[in-house]
Structure formats: C-alpha cells, structure tokens
Amino acid sequence: MQQTKRLFDIDPWKIASTTLDKTQRRLQESLTSIGNGYMGMRGNFEETYSGDHHQGTYLAGVWYPDKTRVGWWKNGYPEYFGKVINAMNFISLELILNGQLVDLATTSYDDFYLELDMKNGILSRQYTVITPKTTVRFTFERFLSLDNPELGVVKFSAESLKGNGSLSVISKLDNNIHNEDSNYDEMFWEEQAINEVVDPFSYLTVRTIPNEFQIEQFTVTAAMTHISQPEVNPIKTTGPLVTSEIFEFDLLPNQPITLEKRIAIITSRDHPQSTQLAKATAILNNLKNNTYSDLRQAQDIAWAKRWELADVVIEGDEEAQQGIRFNLFQLFSTYYGEDERLNIGPKGFTGEKYGGATYWDTEAYAVPLYLALADSSVTKNLLKYRHNQLAQAQHNAKQQGLDGALYPMVTFTGVECHNEWEITFEEIHRNGAIAYAIYNYTNYTGDTSYLETDGLEVLIEIAKFWADRVHYSTTKGKYMIHGVTGPNEYENNINNNWYTNTIAAWVLRYTSESYYKYKEITPHVIPEATLKNWEDIITNMYYPTNDELGIFVQHDTFLDKELIAVNDLDPKHLPLNQKWSWDRILRSCFIKQADVLQGIYFFGNHYTLEEKQANFDFYEPMTVHESSLSPSIHAILAAELGFEEKAVEMYQRTARLDLDNYNNDTEDGLHITSMTGSWLAIVQGFAQMKTFDEHLSFAPFLPKKWEKYEFHINYRQRLLKICVDDTVTLTLLQGNPLDITLYGSQVTLTNVLTVPTQSV
Amino acid sequence: MQQTKRLFDIDPWKIASTTLDKTQRRLQESLTSIGNGYMGMRGNFEETYSGDHHQGTYLAGVWYPDKTRVGWWKNGYPEYFGKVINAMNFISLELILNGQLVDLATTSYDDFYLELDMKNGILSRQYTVITPKTTVRFTFERFLSLDNPELGVVKFSAESLKGNGSLSVISKLDNNIHNEDSNYDEMFWEEQAINEVVDPFSYLTVRTIPNEFQIEQFTVTAAMTHISQPEVNPIKTTGPLVTSEIFEFDLLPNQPITLEKRIAIITSRDHPQSTQLAKATAILNNLKNNTYSDLRQAQDIAWAKRWELADVVIEGDEEAQQGIRFNLFQLFSTYYGEDERLNIGPKGFTGEKYGGATYWDTEAYAVPLYLALADSSVTKNLLKYRHNQLAQAQHNAKQQGLDGALYPMVTFTGVECHNEWEITFEEIHRNGAIAYAIYNYTNYTGDTSYLETDGLEVLIEIAKFWADRVHYSTTKGKYMIHGVTGPNEYENNINNNWYTNTIAAWVLRYTSESYYKYKEITPHVIPEATLKNWEDIITNMYYPTNDELGIFVQHDTFLDKELIAVNDLDPKHLPLNQKWSWDRILRSCFIKQADVLQGIYFFGNHYTLEEKQANFDFYEPMTVHESSLSPSIHAILAAELGFEEKAVEMYQRTARLDLDNYNNDTEDGLHITSMTGSWLAIVQGFAQMKTFDEHLSFAPFLPKKWEKYEFHINYRQRLLKICVDDTVTLTLLQGNPLDITLYGSQVTLTNVLTVPTQSV
C-alpha cells in the first residue's frame, strides 16, 4: 500500500489548508476544482502564479479533434482523438502592488488560507503580502452559479494592514491557452472578435482552429463586467487572444477596496456566434440589480437542495465523512443531468489528460447513483445520449467489419476516439454495460417507456453486434468470443473472457425477452431468423468454468498461469503498472479490477452465495486494484459475503482515492467517474441495498469504527431515508407504502421501521 | 492476388525503362537504388526534380536516436528509436539551360532512358530537352565504388543536337535533408564546417544534432572535385548546410561538354572529425591520375568477381532470371561482410522507413545465403556482431525483469528500439534465431572456433533468458511460455506458440550439449544447478499438438478458431492488412508467414515426411503470405513435399516481390532482407540442398517452364557448381573430394557427376 499524500485538513464539509505546497500545486489545484455542469475549472489562482501549475478551464461539450498519434498504425484506428479542450481563463486578476507583480511563487506572503466549501461550492482564499512600505491582506472568493450556469463570479478585496500603497488590478479574459495533452503541441484556439462597441462590457470571442477532422467547430464568447468599491474607471486594452481592464486603487490602512468580476460565457453549442455577445451581455444586465450577496445566497440554496437528497452522513469517522462528501460534491459539479447532450467525463472539469468525455464508466458505475440521488430524468438523459449516438456506434462496428452497433471506449460524438488496438477494438464488453444500463433504469424506476422505444432500438443493434462478433468453434461445438480485453485490462487479446461471454449472451437474452414483451407496441422489428440465431447463441455459448474450484474461469488459459496471491508478492513490485514491464503484467495472474466479479456483481441474482464466495476467494487475492473502479465492486461483494474488514478496506480506498492521492496521479485531475464508488460501497455494500427483479432490499451492517451512517434514496416515486447505527431505521419520507425485504424478511414500509442492526 | 505494377522491362541483366512515370517516381527510385556496403542511395536524379519523390542517401552505421512516439506509453518501452538517417545529397547537379531550370517534373523532354546495369552497378540515364533555341541531349552515369568504398562518381554530359545555348551546372554537397520518418518532424543534422582553405576541393562537414539520447554522435565530411571538358573554372558558393560549385558552359551543336564529379565521404565511424577532411582529399588526390574509364573498369571487375561466385543462371524464364539477379545485386549492394560492425538493414540503402538496421531476418534468412555465396568470414562477422552487442541484449532482458540476454527486434547498438508491446516484449522467438545462426554456421562450415568461445557465451545468455521466461503450470504439470507473438504476426499475445516453445527448448538443449562438448576448452562455466534446471525444462516443455490431425498446433487455442482456407475467402478481403481491422485479423485463422512451418524448416531433420506433409497441408491453405519472408519457406517445404506448382508459385512471389511491387509498398524502399528468399527457394527448394548433420545433400527438380538453372556454392573449402536441366550436373571446381547425398544415394564428388533429373 502506498503512503497517503494528504494536502488538506480533515473536515466534514471543507477542503481547507493553511499551506501552499509549491511542489504540489497541481495536486492542490485538482482538489479545489469547482464546476456547475456547464463549465468548471481547476483551483487556479486568479492572480499570476509562475510556479509549476496547470491552468485549466473547461466548457462542457466543447472539444477538439486532435490528430491521432500512434507509434505504429493499425488498420481501423480512428483518425482523431477528441480532446477536452482547455478554454479561456476568465477568472484572471493580475495584481501589481507598489509596482511589483504579486506572484506567490516568488512574492513573500504570510497567513495563507485556502478553502473549498462543499456545502455551496465557494472557493476562497486569503493571504498577506508584506512589502517594506505596505502590508496588505488579499481575499478572493469565487463560484460558478448553479442558477445561471453561464455565470461565473469572482470577488476580490484588498486591505492595507499597515502603510499606504498603490494597487493595480488587471482583470482579463485570456485565451492564450494550450492543451497540455495536445498530440502535436498545436494551438486549438484562434481569436474571432474582441471589444467592439459594447461598453460597459469587455468581451472576447474565440473559435477552435479548423483542422482536417473538424466535425464540429466551436465559437465561445465571454463578456465581463466589474463592480468596484471605491468606484474606479478602468482602462481597457486588448492583445492577441486577450482583453483586459485595468483598475488602479490607492490602499490606505483599514480602508478595504473590493472588486467584483462577473463573467458570462456562451458557446455555439447553445447560441450561434452572431447572438453570443447579446446573450452574454443580457445575462450580465439581468443581474445588474443583484448584489454579490444575492448571488451567493442563491448559490447556497441551490447546493443545499442537492445535499438535502444526496448527503451521506457518517458519524465516528471524519475521514470517511469528508471522502464521501468530496466525491458527491465533485460528481454533481461535473454532471447533474440538465443537458442530455452531455455525459460524465472521467476527469470532469478538473483536467484534460486522456481527453474524451464519455466512457462506459457512466453506465457501469454512475447510473446506479444517479438513479437513487437524482430525478429519474437524469438517468434517462444519460440513456438518450447513447440513443442519439446510435448511428456513430453503428459506424464503429462497421469499422471493424461487424454488424450492429459498438459503443465507443472514449468519445464526444459517439465515434470511437481511442487508439490502442487491445482497448479500442477488443475491450468490447463496454457494449454490454450500455445495454445493462437500460435494464438497470427500467428495473429500478419501473418506467418502461424508454425500453419500449429507443431503448429497444439500442438493444437490438448491440445484440446484432454480439451475434456477429461470436464465432462457432466446430472443435468445441460452442459459440466463442476470441480476442477481447475484459474489465481486467492487465490481460489483452484473450479468448472467452467469462465476463464478456456472459454479458454478450445476457444482452441477446434481454433483447429477445424485451422484444417479445413489447412486440405489439414497439416500432422495431426483429426477423424470426435473427431471433432464432440469437437463441442458438444463448443456448450454446461457451463459458470457461472449473468445477473442482467451483469458479468461473476468467478466460480460456487463465488457470495455466502461475497463480500467486498479491500478499505473497514482495511489495517492492507494487504498483505493478509502475514496476513491471507490460508483458510481465499481462502474463501474470494479477488482476487490475473486478472481472469475473464484475459479472457476479451485475447479475447478483443469478448466482448462489456459494458461487459468489468461491469466486471471490479465488480472484480477490490476485487483485491489485490498480484501477480506481476496482475497490467499490469488491467492497460490495465483500460486504455481501460478510468480509467486513475487506469491505471497509475497499471503501477507504475508493472514498479518499483523490483526497489521499492513492494512485499518485490526481495532479492530472480528479477520478470523477470513480467517485460513485464510495457511495456504492456504502449503499450497495454496507447497507446491502439491492434492486433486482423490481424489488428493493437491504441488509445493513455498521462498520466497527463508525457510530452511524445515514442516506436518502429515490425509489419509484418514494423518498426513503436509511439510518444505520445500532438499529436500522427506514423512513418513508415521500410516496406510497412499499414492500421491501430487510435482512431477508419481507416487510411493508409505510412510515418508519426500526430493527436491530445485524452484524455481517 | 494483386495485379503486378511492373515499371521496368524484362531483361536478364538490366533494370531499364524508356518511361518516366511521374506518379510512380518513388517506386522507380527504390528499384534503381545503388550501394557499395559503405553507402548507398535511392535512384534519385542528379538534377532538380520537383515532382513527388524521395531524396535518400544513407551511410552504413550512421543513425539517429529519434525520440519514441507512441499513443499510450507502456512500462518498459524504449526511449528512442534508432533511425536510419537520411544523409547528404552529394550527387546533386542543378542544371540551368538558357536561364531555365531543368526539372523533369515541369520541363518538356523526349527520348528518356533509365538503366541500372546489375553487372556492374552503373546507373545511367539520358533524355533530350527541346527549347525554342536549343535541343540538348543530357547523359548521366554514376556508381559507388566497390574498390574505394568512400568514393562516389557521377559523369554528366550535355550535347546540343540543334542550336546554341548556355548551360550552368551547379554541383552541390547538400545536407538540407530531412528524414521522412522522423517522429517529431525534427532536423537531424547541423553544419560543422564548410569550404575553408582546401582548394581545389569543396567540402562540407556536418554532424548529427545532439539530443537527450545521443549515445553516438556522428560527424560526416564530404569533399568533391570535378573534371570538366572543356575546362571551366567554377565559382564556389556556400549556404546553410550546402556548398556549391557553378560551372558555366556554352553549348554548340555536336560539341559535347562533360563534367565528372568525384566525391569522397568520410564518417566518424572510421575517422575523427579532425582527420576527416584530410582523409577525403587524400582519396581524391590518390585518384588524380585515374581517368573515369579507369575507375569504371575497376568497378566492372569488382562486380564481375562477385557474380562469378554468386550468379544464378536461369534459362527459359527471363522474369525469374531478372528477379533472382536483382535480389542478389541489391543484397550485395547492401552487405558484403567487410565490416563486422554492420548488419543487413531491412531496407538497406533504399529507404528510411521504420528505421533500425538489424532484425532477426539476418540470422533466419540471410545467413544461409552468405554461408554459400561468400567467404565464411562474412557470416562469422554477422555472428560477432551479436556477440559485440551481448551487454545490450542483457540490458534488454533486464528491462523486462528477466535473466540472460534478449536480442532486440530492431536496433543499431543492440539496445531494443522497437516500441509496440506485442512485438517488442513478446516476439521473443527472435532470440532463438540468433542461437540457430550459431548452429547453422558451425554445422555448415565445420569451424567450431566461434561456438567454443564467444558463441557459447551468447548461447548461455540466451538460454538463461528462456529458462527465466518459461513458467511452470501446476495445472498442466508442464513448462509453458505465455504471452508471445510467433513468427505469424497476425496473432499477438498468444500462449504456447509451438514454434517459440520448440526453439526455446532447442536452445537449452543445444547450449547444454555444446557446453558438455567444449567444457574443457571453453572459458565459460555453467553451474550444475542451472544445467539441471534446463534439463527439467527440456524434458517437461509443453507442446500443443493434435494427434487426430497429426499436427503441431500453432498455439493453445488455435483450433478453436473458425478455420477457413484463404481460397474460400472472397478476394475482396485481400490483402487482409489493408482490408481488415487489426482485431479481425488477430482472431482469424489466417497466417501472415510460416510459423509452425518455420520450425519444421529450421529443424527439418527432426520430423518425418508425414509430419511435414500433415502440417503443410493444414497450415499453408490458411497462409496469406503477407510478409515478404513467407513465400521462400513455403517454396522450400513445398518442393520437399513434391508440390511443384506451389513451390514455383511461391518462388515467383519472392523473386519479383519488389520488381512487381507485390506488397504495394516498394516505394518506401526495397525488402532487402527478404531478397534471400528467391535464392533459398531455388537452392534449398528446387535443388533441395540440405546441410543437416554436417552433410550436404541435393535432390533437384526442374520447374516445368524452365530449361535450366545453375548456381555455385561454397561448402567447407570447396567450390561446387550445380547445374540442373534434364540432368543434374555437379562439378567440384575447387577443394577435396566430398561425400554427398544425391536423390537419397550417397556419392563421392571428385570432379563432375551427372545423373538424370528426377521429377518431384
């Protein structure tokens, strides 16, 4: 296990520190990112910071098709990789105190304090600069509005604690921005228009530079306005890709000055370039009569509403408490389901590395959380997103010479962007997760309207893909799937991955069953011959198993490997992905993340407890959990099997993955899609909430160290509160009585139900 | 089968054409490449050519460590890729006729003729330019000297056929040269010195630009001198990375002018920069009294000597005749064994794509030819080359966490440069071929001196690698090799590739046996425990086989595939590597090149004819021969099994692979290391020459279409001529009588032996 690298204090609601660790500024920036679903940014300073850091601002759905870079081209590789594009820095406030640039990398400072308040998404900061002439306290506060998603607000103030001084504040919209992860070190932005006849605003319009792959060219307009106290008339200047307003203040002791900066950002996703400026200035004008404190209050209320439903309260373990809140906060800052054109990017608005906005993580790990913690329309939007991209998924399948639809590994538009054959072409189990989410939504909500129509269309195309992708082995008399990468990416190009074969056959079955069920009302038709072929594949699918061990075998030759437990490995070899060459990892038995166990998790109602235990006992000891998606699934299964210690250990790894920088890469951005893991571990793990067969059940235990935990869920027009301490208290807060199962007994929840908490 | 794209006329000794196909200029350049082992170049024009083409000049052993480019970094990847560096263009003669640049891409011309004479390596060219004022015939001739490898000579002449005119000839040494295959589009050369006080020569010294990986920095000096008729005093000028001499001629009808350009090129491989210029000018001074015709005569004689031993005469099939000569010509232009620091690059001096100078092709495909057609010291030099790089091969093994030595896939220095995990880390069978070449040399020549000393050291290190790379499967009670790519690169990351397991066990056995044999005289020691471990591995190695089919199985799950013959595939799918996405190729049964059959070829004395036939019948129909290394091995085995038609078909593919551009990529350069294939197909195939167990045997047949074929071989201090028409005539030209086997009967060859030719 790695040592934790904790930058921030333990606090139930705050991410706060009195230290500026210049060697870890990138990590600090990642952890203090804010977002409002429409846009977001890393915890960059408003003023100049010349030390190592990563300036990053991101606008949801605004991306760039960066020319693919590979060592060796393989047939079928996509031509471009859609990158999250690093956008305009609109928070910039350059400070010049007594003629000297304020830059915490070089300027002496004191009393530094940085705080992200997760209750309302306010990022604030203070410090004191002492110069021979003047001692000045600077304060910053900013947020991205939930109520007006196109609005960002920065409030700056400076107060002389001693001596007089002069302060210039240069407020900028600055698009001299470069993607750190650009394949060929190219600029992605060019200037379109700047500051023409729109006093009192300054504005900047930029567009993405056209290249050979430009499917979608974006223009972005930002306008800014300022409220200063005392009132100052700024000087306006422009430069390439930047517009500035310069404010000159005199600083006198105990006479604070303040400058409030309001920015509206409009993109061509919503408005053509011709109306962008009008739209931006209208937003700012509409708020003319709102004070900063009005805006902040609205922000407090909006976040409070989210927390009311989503908060998980943990007593007795502040680290765990902070961890789950941080995860929920960052997840909702990234995505709260307002826009069906969007999805949940793996780094959200916190970094640009790897690019792409949509991974199968959404369907596999995020959907269960959004089903429980947001309106069902949010999940439905995530499903619609895939339906909207069906044509592109068909294109992907065709690229591989296959029928039907293959949803991509990484994408913005639905067209595959990933370019590594063993992932791009072979990690096709992702297609199963897309189908599983349709089942999950329908089964959880009871709303069959999506399944009957668009959902079935998606399912049919995915089923067609699988039916074409299998081959019949005359030697074995079975259908097989060769050449895949399973969820365990530490094996590539394997044959008959049990998980992939299982989910492929399941898709065929679920599609057939759904078709027969809604045949009369659905507009989609499946020919008889196709259904027969699917039936044949379902019946004759090959599943590697070993009766002696009572396990499902990960793939054809897994048991021929040298089988070693992680605990028997000299710790100097860990993490494998840093210590071993790739081939060694591949031929070892070590598992990156749940693979067979992922299938057992998805289809928990198909397997006996004995089967679950045998597989868990066999695979978990060989699992290194070097994917951030691994611990949650193991926590859930461990809890079900009564391995409390393992479940809690796994929870800890998922809850504070970023806060404690477990994977040593949080400086590149947060692991947004993995953040559902801690919630899954508590709700589906510790509380053992299950929803199979349209029926809700719980079997909670309380981790030894904890005194209590409590959460809410939405379920079929009900709102439930679950509180676990020495008793389990279920409260039906809204909706009709509901039959549920608690510790294996069927009960009807009408109001409040309390039973003693059982141990695992 | 693809249509052939034949640019040149059929001729037994010439590569000639009266057509300049501007759309295929690159292909034409590749096919008219010349070289002398020390340096070489593509068939570029001396004068300006602004159409699409590829200017390419290469100096043996002068390379550049280009920073690795990959899409996704994997642990263990090398940091740089050694690139064949495109060097100074020293043949350049810019022509300005009546003030107009002569450029065949735009200038009108007539009577074009281009010819490469394979008898002597002279590349010549003529054409007529008609301007309103003057009609001029231009003639070019050039060669790279075999006698003075650092010398290149260009003879240019111009003759007015009508009208007067003025002609400027600007003769350059021009190093404004860029590698087309540079990973990051960077320049590799910078200027060091130019034209200071060395009249009457012009010179240019350049060096490779230092970068972070610069293990070996090269400087190169070229000096040039001219002989003009009529005598003209040139004007000298220099520019960045270029030095020029400008000659002004008046053209009068029927009064030809000539300009002979002599260039000496010296590299820091042989001489430090401080002495390079002196060395270059000394070479030119030494030849002051030699006329062009003296130099040409020496060239004719030197090539004639090579052909005397190596020529393969074919009567009755001019295409075949031209093919084999072209291959031998280009092979010897690339490598004739003078320098033990060099190896046989896959594109020789004909292109720079892919880079790297040393592949396992040398040991697997080139060694048998050089053993027969050159002094045994040539092959010994190739073996020494690997011994010299043993430390680097140990480094490669260590990079993968393994013991012993792993020879690289692609290299200049011995350090692995290839960066694709499934090749770099997994195509480890190459290590077996390095060992096999030691056996081949020793068995062929009877010279055990290398094996006893350096050879055994190499063998021990390779054996140690294999012993560490296998793992013991407790499930099967066998040693296995998981995660490899076999010779068939259309499968990756497979388990228990029969060929790899076979050659690995063979290396352990051959090393042990050799050790016991030379234990008393070799300086190397193998501990008892190691030998015991090797014995255990040899005894318990796992070999996938199928008794029902009587075959060795390519790898563990090969028989689970959908097994289809290439003939049953719609031809629109071929070639697979252009038509199918990579994953589809991988999971198909189609084989790129001999895999199991490669092992049967190498160890032909270990298998019965029935075994050979069963495997050939099973695998060949699934083989697409999309590697240029494939057809020769199949021709040899087909011949042995009596499949004349197949053997001849395979010969044709290998003999004219480049001349007919079978693989559609000869524009990038010739397939130098595959060029041994046509010779192997005739000698080891049609003539069935075998040398197993230190005994020479033949069993020739004559292809139906052919009237006769004839070749020489060196064998253990003898020189033999083999002539096959309706009789087989073996002539011992030099050396003591020799016991050989002919058509299965043992005979003693003392002088001439003639027997009737048997059909297959």
The mean pLDDT of chain A is 96
> Are the C-beta atoms of B467 and B537 separated by less than 8 Å?
yes
Q: Note the CATH architecture for domain B32-308.
A: Distorted Sandwich (2.70)
Catalytically annotated residue among B141, B426, B489, B640: B489
Q: Do B471 and A561 touch (CB under 8 A)?
A: yes
The mean pLDDT of chain B is 96
pLDDT(B2) > 60: no
Whether A71 contacts chain B with CB within 8 A: yes
Q: Do A72 and B420 touch (CB under 8 A)?
A: yes
Across-strand partners of B713? B720
Q: Do A71 and B75 touch (CB under 8 A)?
A: no
Looking at residues B552-570, what average pLDDT do you find?
A: 97
Q: Do A582 and B472 touch (CB under 8 A)?
A: no
pLDDT-based confidence at residue A5 (cuts at 50, 70, 90): low
Distance of residue A582 Cα from the nearest chain B Cα, in angstroms: 5
**Which has more confidence, B330 or A355?**
B330
pLDDT-based confidence at residue A3 (cuts at 50, 70, 90): very low
The per-residue pLDDT for A133 is 94
Whether B476 contacts chain A with CB within 8 A: yes
Whether B570 contacts chain A with CB within 8 A: no
At A234-256, the pLDDT tens digits run 999 999 999 999 999 999 999 99
Whether A444 contacts chain B with CB within 8 A: no
CA-based nearest residue to A38, from A147, A146, A149, A142 = A149
Looking at residues A665-678, what average pLDDT do you find?
A: 94
Whether A72 contacts chain B with CB within 8 A: yes
Q: Is A665 left (phi over 0), alpha (psi -120 to 50) or beta?
A: alpha
Cβ neighbours of B476 in A, within 8 Å: 560
What residues of A form the annotated binding site for substrate? 360-361, 592-593
CA distances from A437 to A384, A453, B363, B408 (A): 11, 15, 54, 46
Q: Phi, psi at residue B381, to the nearest 5°?
A: -60, -40
Distance CA A731, CA B579 (A): 61
Q: Do B561 and A471 touch (CB under 8 A)?
A: yes
pLDDT(A354) > 80: no
At B453-471, the pLDDT tens digits run 999 999 999 999 999 999 9
For residue A569, the SS3 value is coil
Looking at residues B126-135, what average pLDDT do you find?
A: 96
- Provide, rounded to the nearest whole percent, the portion of chain B with pLDDT above 90: 95
Looking at the partner chain, which of A400, A495, A587 has a beta carbon nearest the beta carbon of B557?
A495
Catalytically annotated residue among A426, A489, A620, A626: A489
The per-residue pLDDT for A1 is 38
Whether A543 contacts chain B with CB within 8 A: no
Whether B420 contacts chain A with CB within 8 A: yes
Read out DSSP for B523-582? S----HHHHHHHHHHHHHB---EETTTTEE-SSTTGGGS----GGGS-GGG-SHHHHS-H
Cβ neighbours of B578 in A, within 8 Å: 75
| Of the ranges A353-367, A656-670, B40-54, the best mean pLDDT one | B40-54
The per-residue pLDDT for A485 is 98
The per-residue pLDDT for A480 is 98
Cβ neighbours of A71 in B, within 8 Å: 68-71, 419-420
The per-residue pLDDT for B604 is 97
Cβ neighbours of B559 in A, within 8 Å: 475
Q: Give me A625's structure tokens.
A: 């959990």
The per-residue pLDDT for B5 is 67
The size of chain B, in residues, is 760
Looking at residues B636-650, what average pLDDT do you find?
A: 96
Looking at residues B474-502, what average pLDDT do you find?
A: 97
Q: A 452-471 residues with CB below 8 A of B?
A: 471
| Nearest-Cα residue of chain A relative to residue B473 | A560
At B514-537, the pLDDT tens digits run 999 999 999 999 999 999 999 999
At A688-724, the pLDDT tens digits run 999 999 999 999 999 999 999 999 999 999 999 999 9
Q: A 482-521 residues with CB below 8 A of B?
A: 482-483, 492-495
> Are the C-beta atoms of B542 and B476 separated by less than 8 Å?
yes
| Nearest-Cα residue of chain A relative to residue B560 | A473
The per-residue pLDDT for A520 is 95
pLDDT(A662) > 90: no
CA-based nearest residue to A720, from A321, A309, A315, A441 = A309
- The 10 Å CB-count burial string (b at 16+, else e) for A437-462 is bbbbbbbbbeebebbbbbbbebbbbb
The per-residue pLDDT for B240 is 96
Active-site annotation holds for B489 = yes
pLDDT(B244) > 60: yes
Least confident range from A380-384, B3-7, B395-399: namely B3-7
Query: Cβ contacts of residue B161 below 8 Å, gap of 6+?
Result: B128, B135, B136, B137, B253, B254
Name the pTM for this structure.
0.94
Chain B contact probe: residue of A395, A402, A577, A581 with most B CBs at under 10 A:
A581
Across-strand partners of A16? A115
The per-residue pLDDT for B111 is 97
The per-residue pLDDT for B390 is 98
Each domain of chain A, given as residue ranges in start order, spans 32-308
pLDDT(B370) > 50: yes
Distance CA A688, CA A639 (A): 7
At A410-464, the pLDDT tens digits run 999 999 999 999 999 999 999 999 999 999 999 999 999 999 999 999 999 999 9
Whether A75 contacts chain B with CB within 8 A: yes
Q: Do A71 and B68 touch (CB under 8 A)?
A: yes
Q: A 575-594 residues with CB below 8 A of B?
A: 577-587
Q: B 94-113 residues with CB below 8 A of A?
A: none
> Are the C-beta atoms of A659 and A694 separated by less than 8 Å?
no
Element holding A461 (H helix, E strand):
helix A456-469
Looking at residues B285-307, what average pLDDT do you find?
A: 97
Q: Give me A367's structure tokens.
A: 């959907």
In chain A, what is the straight-line distance between the N-terminal and C-terminal CA atoms, in Å?
A: 26
Q: Give me B760's structure tokens.
A: 């297959």
pLDDT(B3) > 50: no
